[in-house]
Structure 1
Amino acid sequence: MGSVLGIGSQPTLCKSPACSKYHERVRTQGEQLQQLQAELDKLHKEVSSVRTANSERVAKLVFQRLNEDFVRKPDYALSSVGASIDLEKTSRDYEDANSAYFWNHFSFWNYARPPTVILEPDVFPGNCWAFEGDQGQVVIRLPGRVQLTDITLQHPPPSVAHSGGAKSAPRSFQVYGLQVDDETEVFLGKFTFDVEKSEIQTFHLQNDPPTAFPKVKIQILSNWGHPHFTCLYRVRAHGMRSSEEAGDSATGGPN
């Protein structure tokens, strides 16, 4: 009869070459699995970190974009509230012999946009008023007399602006309030629109003592390098609308 293992006896280990190779292969594969698991854990942490960072970045950009356009000031340079363009005092539109080709080449309208486009809230690449060169002006007829406090300019960021990119954006500009005689101009400040900052920038005017004006002039002194034209997308005029009596008194008109 075969022998029986008693309590405490140790099983006989396989010591053949085949058994040794098997155990070595199992040990090696076990180490490889552990290494692979460690790499997977590391990759999982990196992916989670990237997702968190991207989520925070996207959320930040969304809130930043919402806050940028939330000026929190009434706009008296909107056509919907009665603002209009004084064409006689405004620079001529940019004209080019190949204007149709020019606009189509950049996937724009096949016709030039009038200056009234700057009084509309629809701002998207190509929907701008262009005037020739880097110097020009636009005079906005306000819906009544307004004690101007701020001016806001808007231009799409370089990443999405097609009309010459950032180069066609206004750079240095001055603001004037026009008196009721339509000739006297009151200097309200000189400013710089920085294309590296927000696409919507508000500038505080030097209107002291507060004076109500029926018109405001934006005089562009330079752009960001475009050799042929400058584009204005949107202009906003902020302040407090005066009654006719208050406007007459503030601007020196008849009582």
Structure 2
Amino acid sequence: MGNTVTCYQEKKSLEIERPDFALYSKGAKVINRYTSETFELWPPKWYQRLFAQISGHGVLRGKSPITAISPDTYVGQCWPFPGREGQLAILLSQPVYVTAVTYDHVSKDAGFDILSAPKDFEVWGIIDDGIGGKTNQPDNNGYEEEFIESRVLLDSKNFATMDDSSPLRHFLGRFIYDINGSPVQTFEISNQILKSNKPIKAIIMRVLGNWGKPLYTCLYRFRVHGDPVNHDENLFLSTDKQEL
């Protein structure tokens, strides 16, 4: 499993002819408890840090993780987390059989610091077992945390501990984002994994390293593609190219 790396498909165009079930504007949510903290840059001197703690000024805070499931990918429009390892947990807009994921980053030609881009990452699915509430219930604010908590263990860094021993967790692949390739790279789920495909309600993108930026890693956009579990629902069957 650890050596499973699926090659990406370069896109000549930024249009992806597939619906994105991790899109915030279509109902997907960030599960904050299982998502890394947002990077903050504090002043270097102790008295400056003290002033910042008291006043709330002088600290540069990154954009929220919702940025990573939103369509804008302009330079700087990304979610940073501290260090080279971290994760993004997403409650999908609806349960799907995941067939591919896409990661978007700013183009290397933009002259921006490309080293903060993720390099190695794993994708895990949390299986929809039909138990619990629905994602579109506004009065059920804590459901997503409860749903994941019953299926995921946390390590000392508050990262999700994933393995194949639980029937409610599904490994979807380990991938490499190539900063020398297209800014938008789609990673297909392997045929071997697709043979045992399960309906997925939540996704955890676990970043294992970036391209050389020790201070932080920045995620521009992560997408999830697949087939809806309920094929009678046509809400998400159109492509998301209007959202790019």
TM range (shorter): 0.5 to 0.7
Within the alignment, does 1:189 sit opposite 2:139 as a pair? no
Q: Which has the higher contact order (CA 8 A, sep 6+)?
A: 2
Structure 2 unaligned segments of length 5 or more: list them.
Answer: 1-9, 45-59, 129-146, 152-167, 233-244
How many Å apart are 1:244 and its aligned residue?
Answer: 9.9
Does the C-alpha gap of structure 1 residues 111 and 92 become closer, same or farther in structure 2, counting only changes over 3 Å?
A: closer
Q: CA RMSD in A?
A: 2.2
Number of equivalenced pairs: 169
How many Å apart are 1:66 and its aligned residue?
Answer: 8.4
Cα contact 1:117–1:127 (8 A) shared by 2: yes
Cα contact 1:77–1:237 (8 A) shared by 2: yes
How many Å apart are 1:203 and its aligned residue?
Answer: 0.3
Q: Which has the higher strand share?
A: 2
Identify the residue that residue 94 of structure 2 maps to in structure 1: 144
Identify the residue that residue 79 of structure 1 maps to in structure 2: 24
Residues in 2 aligned to 1:131 and 1:168: alpha-carbon distance in whole angstroms: 10
Identify the residue that residue 134 of structure 1 maps to in structure 2: 84
Aligned match for 1:234, one of 210, 221, 225: 221
CA deviations on 1:150-184 (whole Å, 9 max, x unpaired) are 0000111222153xx11100000000001245313
TM-score (norm 1): 0.62
Runs of 4+ in 1 over 4 A off after TM superposition: none
Instruction: Supply the AA of the counterpart residue of 1:199.
Output: P
Q: Which has the higher helix share?
A: 1
Aligned match for 1:171, one of 119, 136, 158: 119
- Specify the structure having the higher radius of gyration (Cα): 1
Structure 1 unaligned segments of length 5 or more: list them.
Answer: 1-64, 100-109, 246-255
Percent identical pairs in the alignment equals: 32
Residues in 2 aligned to 1:136 and 1:201: alpha-carbon distance in whole angstroms: 20
Aligned match for 1:198, one of 172, 176, 182: 182
